[in-house]
């Protein structure tokens, strides 16, 4: 990586050719490593091993290690090299997605997360940090297509040993047409963003940023940095990303793999629990009630209601007449509660204690006094009346069953939730069989925590846990003996490959299927939408209290805006260690952003954290009014006409078929417009029709907002979100008079 600088051909083509030589060599090293790793994997899988659990685990340790290393290299193939630093001491440092070494062991490419690459993001003209020139290298399909230079030390630069090209990589990235997926910003991270990315993972860090400030990208790159810098802490626990919608998660799903990281689980609050899909949506009033921490007590009251002390109960078991005494039930109940086990898992001890009491009575009535008490247990287990009596005293329940009873049975809810008003409880009522809502999930999570595993599965779960411990022990020994620790492979991953299973279950798969999994770090995007109970659920999943929280209080989808993040975070506020504010919008043109801010002022919701646009564009705002008393057909034709004009604009700007257009509507009208236009919410298509909620965190080249006043009536924050999604153009279509800021 040390180059002596010589006078060079000053043409741009010559500089690109010079960089192409290095890029070719980097890809050559990458491919050799990838091939070597795959060969090592196949060799390990095909090797003959002794047929013992330890030997099989050692085989799988090798196979998993080399397979995971190869996959990591395959994911970073696009834009492998993106930066170069030339320093005052005549050194050249190339920056890339991962680090690479030559066959001789010399560093040829520095990982963007390594300390040596920090000056690529932090150096400025005022503080060049020993850097003369910073060069951004643009590649496409392994071919260098552009270079952009920045002079950081003018005195050294004037020596004539370096050639400078280009006008700025950031502006090129901002004007690039979108393709339906978020791109990483690893080549254009700004200094203030880099400072946030490289902060350690201790505590809860808030990134407050208005639309287009790059807060989501910063959070994702921070996850990649932490997985690199704190791998020992995170390799066995992974990172959880909570996003606002499935559309959003699909939008960001390529970012971390492109940076070489795969130990990540993505979910919305609606999909947080394994096997649970919450498709319903509550009103704002119901969401507020369900989001309170009162539900911790309500859930406890509900579960305890299934731990009863009935009156003395006469039972006929075979030829024996026995009595289940209420005092025996009370003692057994107290003992079960003192065990500290969840309700369902404490049932076994509770039932065995009462069976013992009944067995003593049966033994006392028996004419054969020499029989073992266990002999009577078989009679009790086979007695339906005995089973019913014991279960009614301590009834095993699932979380779904308890949740359903709370919302369909007003009397039960009143008994469990005396802190709610009659009016609030009436709002919560719904018919049996109603769809689960996102607001139900944290309540269901708390119920599952209190209830535990149902008895029918307890024994097998215990057996599996014991077997798992043995597998982990063997896998740990294998990793230690082969010195494979510190990489992507962990003991828990190898354990899942026992018994000659070649296919490894990834950390992400295991974590997403385990409700009790705890993560090393959690990223929460659009966090302004979360309520206190949701934060309680997330805290349970991260005992280390290591969070990156991004959002914008000005975009919260409720009429009541919190005054601060500390107020909004609820129980998570205790973990708050810092709040960073991003104030430059790299997405939305100034004309559009200024209108959005002016509208919020006009509506009485001025931005608490205003942002400034990094650029402006001509003809970036358009407004079309529907004819007076327009019919549905006329409205449809108008929308189609606007869509055609926006598509033509993008064809001229980005090339035929390139770029993305979003039609954003109120939540109530999204399905209608999808049907009318024959479109859906898929980001894979050039044009999608989505609601404001689905648009959160996304960006498009062109955005068409149908009936802005419907969004304003829905929530003032919603129109602000919709107006700040475009990177090129915003087009409003309205059939009613609009606020002055939009005219």
Residues 378 and 467 in one domain: no
What is residue 161's predicted lDDT score, i.e. its pLDDT?
A: 52
Residues 424 and 502 in one domain: no
Q: From CA 663, how far away is CA 661, in angstroms rounded?
A: 7
Residue 224 lies in a domain: no
Residues 55 and 143 in one domain: yes
Q: From CA 459, how far away is CA 350, in angstroms rounded?
A: 15
Residue 574 lies in a domain: no
The two tokens of residue 464 are 């599996």
Q: From CA 142, how far away is CA 26, in angstroms rounded?
A: 10
Residue with the two structure tokens 């479109």: 679
What is residue 458's predicted lDDT score, i.e. its pLDDT?
A: 42
State the residue range of the domain holding 489: 461-508
Residues 324 and 443 in one domain: yes
Boundary residue ending a domain (154, 182, 210) = 182
Boundary residue ending a domain (182, 201, 228) = 182
Residues 476 and 402 in one domain: no
Could you report the per-residue pLDDT of 263-321, keeping only the tens digit for each?
789 999 999 999 998 999 999 999 999 999 999 999 999 999 999 999 999 999 888 89
* Dihedral of alpha carbons 597, 602, 603, 608, sign: positive
Residues 66 and 158 in one domain: yes
Residues 98 and 38 in one domain: yes
Residues 6+ away with beta carbon under 8 Å from 716 = 559, 600, 603, 604, 605
Dihedral angle, C-alpha 630, 634, 637, 639, nearest 10 °: 20
Q: Give the CATH number for residue 711.
A: 3.40.50.300
DSSP letter at 622? Answer: E
Residue 48 lies in a domain: yes
Instruction: Determine contact, residues 124/191, Cβ cutoff 8 Å.
Output: yes
Residues 305 and 384 in one domain: yes
Residues 149 and 96 in one domain: yes
Residue 483 lies in a domain: yes
Q: From CA 67, how far away is CA 586, in angstroms rounded?
A: 38
Boundary residue ending a domain (451, 469, 496) = 451
For helices 294-304 and 399-408, what crossing angle results, to 10°? 100
What is residue 504's predicted lDDT score, i.e. its pLDDT?
A: 46
Domain count, the chain: 4
How does strand 700-706 pair with strand 726-734? parallel
Residue 247 lies in a domain: no
Residue with the two structure tokens 């808030």: 206
What is residue 103's predicted lDDT score, i.e. its pLDDT?
A: 86
Residue 441 lies in a domain: yes
What is residue 178's predicted lDDT score, i.e. its pLDDT?
A: 78
Q: How many Cβ atoms are within 10 Å of 424's Cβ, its own excluded?
A: 17
Question: Please, what is the Cα angle at 350 between 446 and 463, to 5 degrees?
Answer: 70
DSSP letter at 307? Answer: B
Could you report the per-residue pLDDT of 74-105, keeping only the tens digit for each?
878 788 999 999 999 889 999 999 999 998 88
Residues 80 and 139 in one domain: yes
Residues 6+ away with beta carbon under 8 Å from 94 = 1, 22, 26, 81, 83, 84, 108, 109, 110
Collapsed DSSP state (helix, strand, coil) of residue 142: coil
Q: From CA 134, how far away is CA 191, in angstroms rounded?
A: 13
Residue 649 lies in a domain: yes
Residues 418 and 501 in one domain: no
Residue 263 lies in a domain: no
DSSP letter at 437? Answer: B
Which residue stretches of the chain have pLDDT < 50? 2-9, 157-158, 160, 163-167, 457-466, 478-479, 481-504
Residues 305 and 346 in one domain: yes
């Amino acid at each position: 990586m040390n180059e002596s600088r010589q006078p060079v051909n000053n043409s741009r083509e010559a500089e690109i050719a010079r960089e192409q030589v290095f890029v070719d060599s980097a890809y050559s090293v990458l491919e050799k490593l990838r091939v070597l790793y795959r060969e090592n994997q196949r060799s390990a899988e095909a090797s003959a091993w002794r047929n013992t659990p330890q030997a099989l685990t050692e085989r799988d340790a090798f196979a998993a290690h080399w397979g995971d290393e190869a996959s990591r290299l395959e994911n970073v193939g696009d834009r492998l090299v993106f930066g170069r630093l030339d320093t005052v001491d005549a050194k050249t440092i190339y920056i890339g997605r991962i680090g690479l070494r030559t066959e001789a062991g010399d560093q040829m490419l520095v990982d963007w997360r390594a300390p040596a690459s920090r000056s690529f993001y932090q150096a400025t003209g005022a503080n060049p940090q020993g850097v003369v020139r910073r060069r951004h290298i643009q590649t496409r399909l392994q071919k260098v297509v552009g270079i952009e230079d920045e002079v950081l030390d003018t005195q050294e630069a004037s020596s004539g040993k370096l050639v400078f090209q280009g006008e700025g990589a950031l502006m090129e990235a901002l004007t690039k047409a979108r393709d339906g997926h978020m791109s990483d910003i690893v080549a254009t991270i700004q200094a203030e963003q880099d400072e946030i990315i490289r902060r350690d993972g201790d505590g809860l860090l808030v990134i407050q940023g208005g639309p287009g400030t790059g807060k989501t990208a910063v959070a994702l790159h921070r996850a990649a940095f932490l997985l690199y810098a704190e791998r020992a802490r995170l390799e066995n626990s992974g990172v959880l990303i909570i996003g606002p919608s499935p559309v959003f998660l699909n939008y960001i799903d390529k970012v971390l793999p492109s940076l070489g990281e795969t130990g990540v689980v993505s979910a919305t609050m609606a999909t947080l629990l394994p096997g649970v899909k919450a498709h319903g949506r509550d009103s704002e009033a119901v969401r507020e009630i369900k989001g309170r921490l009162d539900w911790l007590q309500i859930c406890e009251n509900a579960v305890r209601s299934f731990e009863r002390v009935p009156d003395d109960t006469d039972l006929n078991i075979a030829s024996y007449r026995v009595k289940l005494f209420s005092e025996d039930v009370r003692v057994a109940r107290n003992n079960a509660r003192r065990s500290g086990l969840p309700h369902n898992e404490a049932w076994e001890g509770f039932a065995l204690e009462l069976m013992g009491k009944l067995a003593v009575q049966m033994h006392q009535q028996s004419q054969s006094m020499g029989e073992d008490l266990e002999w009577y247990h078989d009679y009790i287990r086979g007695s339906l009346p005995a089973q019913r009596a014991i279960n009614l005293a301590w009834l095993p329940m699932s979380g779904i069953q308890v949740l359903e009873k709370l919302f369909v049975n007003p009397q039960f809810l009143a008994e469990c939730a005396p802190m709610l008003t009659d009016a609030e409880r009436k709002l919560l009522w719904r018919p049996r069989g109603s769809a689960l809502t996102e607001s139900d999930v944290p309540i269901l999570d708390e119920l599952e925590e209190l209830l535990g595993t149902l008895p029918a599965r307890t024994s097998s779960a215990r057996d599996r846990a014991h077997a798992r411990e043995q597998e982990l022990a063997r896998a740990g020994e294998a990793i230690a003996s082969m010195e494979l620790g510190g990489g992507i492979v962990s003991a828990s991953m190898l354990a899942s490959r026992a018994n000659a299973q070649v296919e490894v279950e990834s950390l992400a798969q295991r974590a997403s299927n385990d409700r009790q999994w705890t993560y090393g770090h959690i990223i929460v995007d659009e966090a302004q939408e979360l309520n206190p109970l949701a934060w309680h659920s997330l805290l349970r999943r991260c005992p280390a209290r290591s969070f990156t929280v991004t959002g914008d209080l000005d975009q919260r989808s409720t009429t009541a805006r919190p005054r601060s993040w500390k107020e909004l975070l609820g129980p998570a506020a205790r973990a708050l260690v810092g709040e960073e504010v991003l104030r430059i919008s790299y997405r939305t043109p100034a004309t559009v952003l200024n209108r959005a801010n002016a509208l919020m002022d006009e509506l009485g919701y001025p931005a608490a954290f205003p942002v400034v646009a990094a650029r402006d564009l001509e003809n970036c705002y358009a407004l079309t009014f529907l004819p007076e008393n327009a019919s549905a057909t006329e409205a449809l034709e108008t929308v189609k006409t606007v869509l055609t004009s926006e598509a033509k604009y993008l064809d001229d700007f980005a090339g035929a078929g390139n770029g993305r257009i979003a039609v954003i509507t109120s939540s109530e009208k999204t399905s209608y417009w999808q049907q009318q236009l024959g479109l859906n919410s898929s980001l894979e298509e050039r044009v999608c029709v989505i609601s404001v909620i689905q648009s959160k965190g996304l960006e498009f080249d062109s955005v068409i907002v149908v009936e802005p006043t419907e969004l304003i009536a829905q929530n003032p924050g919603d129109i602000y979100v919709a107006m700040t999604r475009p990177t090129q153009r915003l087009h409003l279509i309205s059939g009613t008079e609009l606020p002055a800021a939009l005219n």
